[in-house]
Structure 1
Amino acid sequence: MRTKFLALCLVLATSIVACKKSEVATDTSTSELPVDTVYTSPQSRNLNLIYFVPNDLDTLPAYERRLSELMLWTQNYMKEEMLRNGYPNKTFGMFADLAINRVKIITIRGTKPKSGYAYSGGAGNVQAEINAYFTANPTEKTSEHTLVILPRYEFKPDGTPSGGPFYGLGKWCFALDYEGMDIKNLGKSDIEGNRFSVWFGGLVHELGHGLNLPHNCQKVSENSTLGMALMWAGNGTLGKSKTFLTAADCAILNVNQIFNSDSKAYYGAVNARVTKIHADYSASKAAIVLSGRFTSNTKVNSVVYYNDPNVNNEGVGVNKDYNAVTWESKAIGTDSFYVEMPIADFKYKDGSPYELRLKLVHENGTVSENSYAYQFVNALPVLDFSTKAEISKAGWTIAAFSSQESAAAATRVIDNDLSTGWHSQWSVAPVASYPHFITVDIGAQKILDGFTILNGDRRAVKNVDILTSIDGINFSLATNLQIPKLGSIQAFAFQGPLTFRYFKILAKSSWDGEQFAQFAEIGLYKN
């Protein structure tokens, strides 16, 4: 369905007046705007919109009109998607003069030629010069979110434009302008329209990244009803066919700094973690059912669930997560969550391993993450990451260790504090190398079924042996494992119940290939 352009009419209940056009770093010799143009916004924090021009290029014709109309369309598009997901009157702040349909674009001429701002590696140079501008003009930066648009550097033989950086970097994002970047091409299916959809859709997709959104795709059932998720392949459909923001996207945007008009601080550090999780497949509901509890020192508004399949060993994580299918639920009270995820909405059920990234969306815009591994077998999910009831660590002591940092001692892996942990010796020569080990005395013989571990965020251990002993001298191998690099407590069962007093974790390799090792906590459980 062709999407029509709607000029966004904001009710300026609390107007913030921006600088006049003549007061910002704009190429006034080519600007078509009157010098008394005044930009306003109802929000105190707004998108920093930069047109950055290498010194061997010039601005492209009518860029202020073309980009203004497209940014106003985008602002309204996100407003409509937020409303559809239950967040009325929410979109990103942006300075505009709606009487003439223009938005505030700060034009900055770079000190280097386009070769200094290449696609690969050039973003840092762009950022450095924009930051220098903001330092000299501090009132021009009104938020942490910046969209940088660069004019195209050239055209390929087939007419495709090409140029500098075009991606997201944290709260920065980069896009390309070319002569056909014009709202008149919105919805067209000819060559020019298809090209426009890719580049304009790409701009809005990268803006999503700059607004804190990771990749994710539509559920199977949403293909026919909602179309293409913007943060999947919406850069090929936006304006031509149905393209939408997922519920997970909107939950994250709801707490975005420039989607809100309050004055509180955003993106501060939080101390949060999932403390209990129960994962099960309900045959009657034909769904994965997750429930659990969390602790947080900052209010959690929503919980979002990214199910990222590792199809054909493509990997998981950034730029390998386009096919992550997502759900969203509201926090229950101050510490709980519950969600049902029908497996009919999963495209991949062929045995590919999955990473479930469970994210707590805090009211200050910070998103904290916990990860869990599972897979589909015979088209059904196998979920073995539910929290185990660990035995008490009262009376536990460290019997031996290979090395430690004084500020990250071995005792920290049994202190019941998930924010502390052990690190192998690195600050004093000789630096300890693999293998590393820690031996724990649990104080008395017990019959136990498995152990738990919270791996390190950095220097995470990979291949480990777990050994047990009655006397602390003679040890037997209980199991050898590969510990996934996940930000959650993981449980591993022994092959059967074991009787022991001492257990040793022997780390033989790391995920990053370095000789350093760390993990935060270990425990034991009985079924």
Structure 2
Amino acid sequence: MNLDAKNLGIGGDIGWKATVWIGGMIHELGHGLNASHNRMNKTLAPTLGTALMGSGNSTYGISTTSLTSSTAATFNNSQVFSSVTRSDWYASASAEIISLSSSFTNNTIIISGKFTANKPVNDIVVWHDREPFGGNNDYDAVQWATKIIGQDSFRFECPLADFYDLTGNYEMRIGFMHINGVRTTIRYAYNFNNNIPDLSKVVTYKLLPTTGWSIVGSDSNEPGSTASNVLDMNRSTVWHTPWSSTQTPQPHFFSVNMGDLRTIKGLAFRNRDNLNGAMKDVNIYSSANGTSWTLIKTAQLTKVSGSWINVDLNASISTRYLKIESTSSWGDFFYSHLADFGAY
């Protein structure tokens, strides 16, 4: 009885149950098609109502309930809604942001960048999610979708008028919708100060090539997860200190020979998706000979996955050897891990 569509919107206990059951079922079907939770942008809510993938399971059939642009972009690349026959639906696919810049102009967050992908991308979406680790499960993430510019570029304009809260910490997620239904998501952290977004960490620099670089030392590693993995620019391979057998405490380190004298102004770190034990507080050392080390920077790495975490040095330096020492990890684990390392 509660699943009878004729009960939608009639009011009372029966109508409410019909909305919860039918709206909830459609909401969960959306997840089955890779749609994420999100919220209708503030300026669109008066006409488009509640986002189905937000709280739409409690409004469907009672008040206006709609798909957001990011949900529509997800469905646009879903096998269920496609008229194309493919043999690689939902097979492995990946994308990388090779450059990203951000700015705040005319009360609008502007994000633009370039990317590469091993399978073509039809649509790109961005979510701005307040306090992503605070238990809200993305229901309050406002979002935008766009098409590719040319072959490898994108641009988003996100007016603050569409945000509901201009305080606290945010996670910005950029999602690349591959033509075979897979989504690659890359995350950046930022925050608001006095209602103004601090976008200083929402950037991806062009990194120095790591060809010819080598690991010349590390304190320990889990079998199969050696420090050399941080130089392969492959986020699926990681350096991981022991966790399954011998448990060595912090600090942990690895050191790199860049093959020649390099002038650098910053270092870049990239995590795997599982952030338990990701490097948190780090000491950065340089050396001319790989034996005598000078501390040049202490930093705290952001707890974020997918994007590069940039650490600007106090001044540009010329050096050949670098040592990264992890003194604590997110979650206060005894181990450390890192997927990729670079310099700019």
CA shift for structure 1 position 496: 4.2
Deviations 1:77-132 (Å, cap 9, x if unpaired)? Answer: xxxxxxxxxxxxxxxxxxxxxxxxxxxxxxxxxxxxxxxxxxxxxxxxxxxxxxxx
Q: Which residue of 2 aligns with 1:377?
A: 193
User: Identity of aligned pairs, percent?
Assistant: 35
Q: In the alignment, does 2:117 pair up with 1:301?
A: no
Give the one of 12, 19, 23 matched to 1:197. 19
On the 8 A contact 2:236/2:272 being kept in 1, the answer is: no
Q: Which residue of 2 aligns with 1:221?
A: 43
On the 8 A contact 2:7/2:15 being kept in 1, the answer is: yes
Going from structure 1 to structure 2, the CA distance change for 1:321 and 1:473 (only over 3 Å counts) comes to: same
Matches within 5 A, 1:61-460: 179-265=1-87, 266-283=89-106, 286-310=107-131, 314-315=134-135, 320-350=137-167, 352-384=168-200, 385-393=202-210, 396-405=213-222, 407-425=224-242, 430-443=246-259, 448-458=264-274, 460=277
Q: Which residue of 2 aligns with 1:522?
A: 341
The separation in 2 between residues aligned to 1:341 and 1:220, in whole angstroms, is 11
Which deviates the most, 378-387 or 453-462?
Answer: 453-462
Q: Which residue of 2 aligns with 1:65?
A: none
Going from structure 1 to structure 2, the CA distance change for 1:205 and 1:417 (only over 3 Å counts) comes to: closer
Q: In the alignment, does 2:331 pair up with 1:509?
A: no
Which deviates the most, 507-516 or 478-487?
Answer: 507-516
Matches within 5 A, 1:453-468: 453-458=269-274, 460-468=277-285
AA aligned to 1:424 is: T
Going from structure 1 to structure 2, the CA distance change for 1:298 and 1:224 (only over 3 Å counts) comes to: same
CA shift for structure 1 position 217: 0.3
Q: In the alignment, does 2:308 pair up with 1:489?
A: yes
Q: How large is the Cα RMSD of the aligned pairs?
A: 2.5
Between structures 1 and 2, the one with greater helix share: 1
- Higher-Rg structure is 1
Matched length: 339
CA shift for structure 1 position 470: 3.7
Q: Which residue of 2 aligns with 1:168?
A: none
Deviations 1:274-329 (Å, cap 9, x if unpaired)? Answer: 2221111123xx31111111111211000011111018x725xxx62100011000
Which deviates the most, 194-203 or 368-377?
Answer: 194-203
Deviations 1:466-497 (Å, cap 9, x if unpaired)? Answer: 22234532432511313323111121223444
Which deviates the most, 402-411 or 222-231?
Answer: 402-411
AA aligned to 2:65 is: T
Going from structure 1 to structure 2, the CA distance change for 1:436 and 1:263 (only over 3 Å counts) comes to: same
Deviations 1:421-472 (Å, cap 9, x if unpaired)? Answer: 4232457x53544322112233566554321111123355232322223453
AA aligned to 1:465 is: V
Structure 1 unaligned residues grouped into runs of 5+:
1-178
Higher relative contact order (CA 8 A, sep 6+): 2
